[in-house]
Amino acid sequence: RFRASARVVGCCFVAASAGWHDGCIGALIPYLQVYYGGVSDEKVALVFIGSFTGYILASLLNVTLSNRLGLGRLIVLGACAQGLASAVIAFRPPFIAIAICYAVAGFGLALQDAQFNTYIARLPGAPTKLGVVHAIYGIGALLSPAAATLLMRANLPPPLFYLTNLAWCIASLGVLLLGFGFGGGDFSGRQTEVEADDRVASLKTVVSDRVVWAALMFVSLYTGSETSEAGWIVSFLMRERDGGSMSGYASSAFYTGLTSGRVVLLPLTAVLNDKRAVTLYAALALAMQVVVWTSPVFLVDFIAVAACGFVMGPVYPVTVSLVTKATPHGYHPGALSLMASVGQSGSAFLPFLVGTLAESFGIGALQPVLIAMFALMILLWQLVP
The confidence band for 266, taking pLDDT boundaries of 50, 70 and 90, is: confident
User: Looking at residue 147, what is its pLDDT?
Assistant: 93
User: Looking at residue 124, what is its pLDDT?
Assistant: 82
The CA distance from 12 to 116, in Å, is 9
**Which fold would CATH assign to domain 2-183+200-381?**
Growth Hormone; Chain: A; (1.20.1250)
The confidence band for 333, taking pLDDT boundaries of 50, 70 and 90, is: low
User: Looking at residue 64, what is its pLDDT?
Assistant: 80
Q: Which of these ranges, 88-97, 122-131, 249-258, 360-369, has the smallest mean pLDDT? A: 122-131
* pLDDT tens digits, 174-216: 999 988 876 555 555 444 333 333 444 555 555 566 777 778 7
Mean pLDDT of the chain, nearest integer: 84
In percent, the amount of the chain with pLDDT more than 70 equals 88
Residue 224 confidence (pLDDT) above 80: yes
* pLDDT tens digits, 293-327: 999 999 999 999 999 999 999 888 888 777 777 66
Average pLDDT over residues 239-262: 87
User: Looking at residue 332, what is its pLDDT?
Assistant: 63
* pLDDT tens digits, 9-27: 999 999 999 999 988 988 8
* pLDDT tens digits, 85-141: 999 999 999 999 999 999 999 999 988 988 888 888 778 877 778 878 888 988 898
* pLDDT tens digits, 151-176: 998 999 999 999 999 999 999 999 99
User: Looking at residue 295, what is its pLDDT?
Assistant: 92
pTM of the predicted protein model: 0.76
User: Looking at residue 38, what is its pLDDT?
Assistant: 83
User: Looking at residue 197, what is its pLDDT?
Assistant: 37
HEC per residue, the chain: CHHHHHHHHHHHHHHHHHHHHHHHHHHHHHHHHHHCCCCCHHHHCHHHHHHHHHHHHHHHHHHHHHHHHCHHHHHHHHHHHHHHHHHHHHCCCCHHHHHHHHHHHHHHHHHHHHHHHHHHHCCCCHHHHHHHHHHHHHHHHHHHHHHHHHHHHCCCCHHHHHHHHHHHHHHHHHHHHHHHCCCCCCCCCCCCHHHHCCCCCCHHHHHCCHHHHHHHHHHHHHHHHHHHHHHHHHHHHHHHCCCHHHHHHHHHHHHHHHHHHHHHCHHHHHHHCHHHHHHHHHHHHHHHHHHHHHCCCHHHHHHHHHHHHHHHCCHHHHHHHHHHHHCCHHHHHHHHHHHHHHHHHHHHHHHHHHHHHHHHHCHHHHHHHHHHHHHHHHHHHCCCC
User: Looking at residue 183, what is its pLDDT?
Assistant: 59
Task: Find out whether 71 and 123 touch, Cβ atoms under 8 Å.
Answer: no
Q: Domain boundaries in the chain?
A: 2-183+200-381
